[in-house]
Structure 1
């Protein structure tokens, strides 16, 4: 069935399996009774009863339910430990509705196609749809014994395969060619169990291969053999008392989609419903009532303190939203019992997962594909993320007098506050909610904070001569979160028109100034709305960039050896420096969206919302001025006092290349690498092809608007046509920025994704620059600079393929810097 996908790592979705189980060497091809065949085996009764044959290492499944649908999904009980490969402990695979169907001596596991339906009482109409689209057979089994309407099959070959696509994930991340090795795989009995409503199997799976990549070598004791644990869940489907709730694009929910061919021609054939847990009031007539069955989330007991308490606190924030929806104590948080299986379908879980590098956090759910009902919520939190937050706090306020931080540690306090917000964010995904990236501009106050479903960065404030982190993160659920939970979970009195009641919730939300925009509005580099971005803050992106730039200035001015504890190698200061030097990176991206930006909503016809409007010209020009300040040589230059503190890394302290600036100077710190990365980032955002084309279009519609030629003139004035600084280092930084802009202009002039007029304007500016550069210079450095530029322009005029650009240095990895992985990103965190 179709479902909105919220996971960046789509390779974990399970392929369709076709597996023929081998018939056993004995058993008479089904002539034996089950009792006779299983004599001496361990019987485990439950939803599906199974038998463990210890002598042969086989699992025999007793099938007593034919043509009865149930839920099947695989998952990873023990993972690989690499964020890059993505095979994390606890990772959920795709859920499938399946049923067993018998045909003579054979049983097929069949998945119906719920993407196409006919919601009709006419069986012939339903049959017409069913026969029009393919099903999927996941496995075929030979019957080895039967009695009383039950049959026995060998389930072992079905369980002994790479069902989560681990080999494909390894190959896709270029870590080698691996394949399933049956000789090194076996059942894992401690977590193979049967319960009345679910039967669980776990296996030890080994993949073998040659030439493993660095990611694998980092996390496996012998990288040619990768052993993981796979878990398989066979689960009884919920009853039919759940009522699906319709999706509305004006408020965020994931969910299910399907074609209903019984729909009248005058109505939309695509049906969309939200994902949510089942929650009902004990007293439906009461304004506030306890729940028939509360939603309970369990925290991984393997989480250390004080992190465990922070996760419990942040997860419990959601009870505030359910109270707003009319429920009392309907959302609860408990510690997972030590003897519980975290993969068990019965537990909504917040799991603490270790990796070799910092990485994404995830909020995923097991969903009934028929209705959208959430059956299990599952959060994965990477343990190294808190260390990255602590590192950022070190750069901002660190002042180590000795080898350890003081007992009262504000850096740790900020990191713990981040974990509370992160727990609330990821749990929100498992309640059905996607990101809401406009909420950082809404909700009142200087920094908005209308939703924990945004990506916030820490709010660092200047107080006197110091940076203050006491208000770094929100300390409660946001106002949007309460509106969204009301929409998804509020139970209306009998006789209420639900559609009207839901419309009223959204209309009332809009009256308070709260709206919803998500990943597709925020993630693309050329996205258009100035209020939607990741890791930004503030009601106004331009004002916040100015404020953040000042925080960055102070952080660099205060940067000393005391940013690391006594006894640490001085070279490790670079890891602390990187997030300080790049502290403005996400606010630059946010402010760039003001240029050629458009404000819009997910308006429906007749709902009274504003539809779309262009950002006023003065605001666009103001944004451009502030962005140009970030490529000024004085802004880009790394203070010489800091450079003097950073020697090459010592033996056995090799830095993670993702955490330091790339360099062309060998072991030594490259004074040009950081300016190149930062200036390139600003130019990349401003000269995005989509933004360039919008600039052409907006000035055509309104000549008073900011135009492409106007922006390029200002960029030329800030680079090539600007006098060189007297400081020799800053002068070299300027020449570096000049060349970066020149390369961008050349790229634009031939980029087929840019409008023809946009390419023509780029060519015009290259011609104007060429004419300017012909004047001789007595300064040898400047003469060389001009000669290089003229050579590049002449090559571009002849054959663009002859241009020989340098490979620009890119910033060290930022994401994930202090929040969860996201939807439709290279590593999406939720579906």
Structure 2
């Protein structure tokens, strides 16, 4: 499962190191965007100096022969063809046969690649994986870096080009001359021009310097892939070398060690906390070269947007018979029955996963079961034991990074970015999955057993809190806000605040990835805390063991789903009613969710209800249906001839349990039910239950939940964990207002649903009532001074743990004000108001929430005190009411004062483009509010406490100024 986190006024008051760390993270992310959007990594670097190896590895030292060839010196040009004699060049070198022929000298650091003419213009898959990491900044062991289809092509002047062929455009085979036209229209990508050192006269085998290619030319573009995590470091060629080389008939495995230096201490970057000296570190990178399978009987399968598969796509611009120029293949394994006539048959070659020997024995059973869970879906389409699980021996003579093995790998990190990851390597011509490796971060266990401590030790409080903005537009605003503060560009930035919303897609992807890991950790952290505080008794230990087992099993199954080709399904949690969630007879026969490809939260029963399964224990109906679409054997000799059978499968999407919505659907924030970390067919009810659970945990903390030898910082961490969870539920609820369901349906699907369905009026009204009760109400956040005065931070100050300098006390007002403020801005954002306005045209007017309804409801709830016989307005309510006035003031005047906090910045950017109807209604509501305040002041003015009196008088004057200013402007 893979979501990012950040801060406002409270953030501005964090200590120096916490601030700097947050900015570092965002700068790394920004570097990725810049690298991806605007520039390319240089194709080569200066030649390496001769160095010696203290590890017995291959240090890359250019021999005299190689130096002459690389420099194209006058001396080499005087020789016939400028080449070295082949026998002389390879003499005394070890010959290594396999996919390619290699020659090497371990002592001198020589590594040559010999290519036969038959290997030219041939497709190979090059995969780069990070085989070691530093445990932070996204530089993690086992993480994928890049992969590419490459060819070696002969070029003039004794050059060999490393080329990525352009397979994005392909021509129909029945159109002569089509390929020549495409080649003139669209360019291939040349990654490197290698000097041919020597050619064998009889076989025409060409010799090139492979070590120089890997270290100087970066063929897999790994520096671009790593740029977002490298901070102030750059590649140090003098400490880089090629280490292990393993050559097999179908693949070549090479491990390079890349040295990095730089770092240093500056305002924005002071090096990594996990390395002993900030001046340098090294990363091991595994290069896997493999031959692509050909004529193996695999038939590509066409994709359908109603079923969630990753796709391999290309265009056929010369095929005028197609309405859509794209051809899209789903990504899937090559799975065939041993006996095609049998109703149930083992596959000819099963999908085999190896559990790496580093996975702790305590968790292997849960991981094994999570993998094998998918066999139930394959059995329904005729495959027996389609997936097998094997345990990697302790003394295995193979490496888990070897592309021939699909592995479940165990990793550890100092600052995790994701609990697990399931990358695959795919044949880019056909969509056939060739290899998969699932990485599980060891921190997942720490999160499950007490992550409220782990989170606090590795992440500052601002990151934890702002993790609740995951999936919302505000995370990108925060990134640019922090960067502008750091480089003093805030004044220029505020001249055009709209530019804050323009964030490169690469940066958005990195933010979302960071976001997923943090949000998932917060979910599991709250679950562990709730189990520890709400379900005390003799079964405590059993409950925690069950919690860990069920989550690890379901997490593994989710990642295996990705390696089978499946995308996320964020509508997968909508299958059961709230009442059914905790009935094991239902959840274990039908499933807890319709799809494991959702981001499922902990299924935590509300206070007073018996607890059922915490996490899904089996596949859901959608999972089985998706596997049917992707893997059901269909007798057809061409992908197009499968269309009728595939469309019949996909058309069943009208069944409620097969509904599907994926990442790009969720990120639009249009459909409140295409959402992560919600549950049941009534997510509003579920969110209410979870806010009740959060309140119950807070009450337990009020009553004292610290052991004598525990620090008060543990209590602070627990309190913050609950606050983050509560915030997440509030944002889930707010998205129902003005929401629309988006259905991935075709006109021919049976039930006749339309793609867009406005959320029912009663649902939107229920969402507003929930927010009034749990977010805006005067008694929504009642914490005793006894509890608040115990929320002390830890006072450790050393590498990896920097104590807060300010605020030393817990900023409860800032926390609550930001939560309320973000929710209020979310409800009154220009985007949401425009959607609500449009719903008047898209829904029956009697069944739609209007802009005026929304303003009236919010104003009545936020200013409810004005209806009381004796008015008294507390601190939090005064802050909320001022924020409400700020929003309406900006809408009415179409002008904004310069924001000084993150919340003010979001308010400006999110509301400045509100529709004209909203401006008119805002002005009307201000006039009504002024009358109410005036009545209270006339009737109760002498009886009001001074603070309430001052607040109301100030509010009345502000409203009058706003209305007068608008009248003057008109």
Which TM-score band applies after superposition, normalised by the shorter structure? 0.7 to 0.9
Question: Aligned to 1:126, what secondary structure does the other structure show?
Answer: helix
Contact 2:344 2:383 in 1 (8 A): yes
Find the aligned partners of 2:196 and 2:916 in 1 and give their Cα distance.
67
| Cα deviation digits, residues 56-95 of structure 1 (max 9, x gap) | 313211112111111112221112311xx32222222332
1:198 aligns with one of 238, 241, 251: 251
Bigger mean CA deviation after superposition, 688-697 or 507-516: 507-516
Equivalent residue, structure 2, for 1:743: 886
Is 1:398 matched with 2:526? no
| Cα deviation digits, residues 711-750 of structure 1 (max 9, x gap) | 1111111113435999999922222222333334345554
Is 1:18 matched with 2:184? no
TM-score (norm 2): 0.74
Is 1:719 matched with 2:853? no
Is 1:416 matched with 2:472? no
Is 1:101 matched with 2:153? yes
Find the aligned partners of 1:655 and 1:95 in 2 and give their Cα distance.
33
Equivalent residue, structure 1, for 2:404: 346
| Cα deviation digits, residues 344-383 of structure 1 (max 9, x gap) | 1112222222121243132221111111111111222222
Find the aligned partners of 1:81 and 1:413 in 2 and give their Cα distance.
29
Question: Aligned to 2:809, what secondary structure does the other structure show?
Answer: coil
Equivalent residue, structure 2, for 1:324: 380
Is 1:363 matched with 2:422? yes
Contact 1:582 1:678 in 2 (8 A): no
Equivalent residue, structure 2, for 1:446: 580
Q: How does 1:572-651 map to 2 (within 5 A)?
A: 572-608=714-750, 609-611=752-754, 612-630=756-774, 631-651=776-796
Find the aligned partners of 2:798 and 2:921 in 1 and give their Cα distance.
49
How much does 1:282 deviate? 0.8
2:922 aligns with one of 762, 770, 788: 762
Find the aligned partners of 1:153 and 1:479 in 2 and give their Cα distance.
54
Equivalent residue, structure 1, for 2:11: none
Question: Aligned to 2:145, what secondary structure does the other structure show?
Answer: coil
Contact 1:399 1:562 in 2 (8 A): no
Equivalent residue, structure 1, for 2:492: none
Equivalent residue, structure 2, for 1:433: 566
Contact 1:638 1:674 in 2 (8 A): no
Contact 1:405 1:565 in 2 (8 A): no
Is 1:177 matched with 2:320? no
Is 1:129 matched with 2:273? no
Distance 1:677 1:412, change over 3 A: farther
Distance 1:687 1:144, change over 3 A: same
Equivalent residue, structure 2, for 1:780: 946
Find the aligned partners of 1:433 and 1:573 in 2 and give their Cα distance.
40
Equivalent residue, structure 2, for 1:825: none
How much does 1:254 deviate? 0.8
Find the aligned partners of 1:460 and 1:653 in 2 and give their Cα distance.
37
Find the aligned partners of 2:798 and 2:160 in 1 and give their Cα distance.
58
Find the aligned partners of 2:719 and 2:546 in 1 and give their Cα distance.
21
| Cα deviation digits, residues 85-109 of structure 1 (max 9, x gap) | 3222222233211111112411111
1:480 aligns with one of 613, 622, 625: 622
Is 1:550 matched with 2:692? yes
Find the aligned partners of 1:655 and 1:570 in 2 and give their Cα distance.
20
1:304 aligns with one of 355, 360, 365: 360
Question: Aligned to 2:783, what secondary structure does the other structure show?
Answer: coil
Bigger mean CA deviation after superposition, 686-695 or 383-392: 383-392
Distance 1:505 1:791, change over 3 A: same
Q: How does 1:653-672 map to 2 (within 5 A)?
A: 666-672=807-813
Question: Aligned to 1:140, what secondary structure does the other structure show?
Answer: strand
1:262 aligns with one of 315, 318, 328: 318
Is 1:80 matched with 2:134? yes
How much does 1:331 deviate? 0.7
| Cα deviation digits, residues 198-223 of structure 1 (max 9, x gap) | 11111111122244656842222222
Find the aligned partners of 1:783 and 1:414 in 2 and give their Cα distance.
52
Contact 2:355 2:409 in 1 (8 A): yes
How much does 1:700 deviate? 5.3
Work out the number of aligned pairs and report it.
781
Contact 1:636 1:679 in 2 (8 A): no
Find the aligned partners of 2:212 and 2:276 in 1 and give their Cα distance.
27
Equivalent residue, structure 2, for 1:817: none
Question: Aligned to 1:235, what secondary structure does the other structure show?
Answer: strand
Contact 1:390 1:414 in 2 (8 A): no
1:505 aligns with one of 644, 649, 665: 649
Equivalent residue, structure 1, for 2:852: 709
How much does 1:516 deviate? 0.9
Structure 1 unmatched runs, 5+: 1-5, 801-831
Find the aligned partners of 1:795 and 1:327 in 2 and give their Cα distance.
74
Distance 1:727 1:177, change over 3 A: farther
Equivalent residue, structure 2, for 1:460: 604
How much does 1:593 deviate? 2.7
TM-score (norm 1): 0.86
| Cα deviation digits, residues 134-188 of structure 1 (max 9, x gap) | 1111111111122112111111222115666666577646x74322111111112
Contact 2:306 2:653 in 1 (8 A): no
Contact 2:311 2:330 in 1 (8 A): yes
What is the root-mean-square deviation in Å for CA atoms of aligned residues? 3.5
Question: Aligned to 1:552, what secondary structure does the other structure show?
Answer: helix
Q: How does 1:224-303 map to 2 (within 5 A)?
A: 224-240=279-295, 241-303=297-359
Q: How does 1:62-73 map to 2 (within 5 A)?
A: 62-64=114-116, 65-73=119-127
Equivalent residue, structure 1, for 2:102: 50
Distance 1:498 1:134, change over 3 A: same
Find the aligned partners of 2:762 and 2:532 in 1 and give their Cα distance.
39
Is 1:41 matched with 2:201? no
How much does 1:252 deviate? 0.4
How much does 1:433 deviate? 0.8
Q: Which has the higher helix share?
A: 2
Equivalent residue, structure 2, for 1:733: 876
Distance 1:355 1:216, change over 3 A: farther
Distance 1:150 1:407, change over 3 A: farther
Find the aligned partners of 1:53 and 1:156 in 2 and give their Cα distance.
11
How much does 1:699 deviate? 3.2
Contact 2:166 2:187 in 1 (8 A): yes
Contact 1:251 1:515 in 2 (8 A): no
Find the aligned partners of 1:39 and 1:512 in 2 and give their Cα distance.
70
How much does 1:616 deviate? 2.1
Equivalent residue, structure 2, for 1:824: none
| Cα deviation digits, residues 621-647 of structure 1 (max 9, x gap) | 122111221221312233445324323
Find the aligned partners of 1:108 and 1:35 in 2 and give their Cα distance.
24
How much does 1:757 deviate? 2.2
Contact 2:672 2:740 in 1 (8 A): yes
Question: Aligned to 1:559, what secondary structure does the other structure show?
Answer: helix
Contact 1:53 1:60 in 2 (8 A): no
Distance 1:176 1:493, change over 3 A: closer
Find the aligned partners of 1:380 and 1:727 in 2 and give their Cα distance.
61
Contact 2:833 2:918 in 1 (8 A): yes
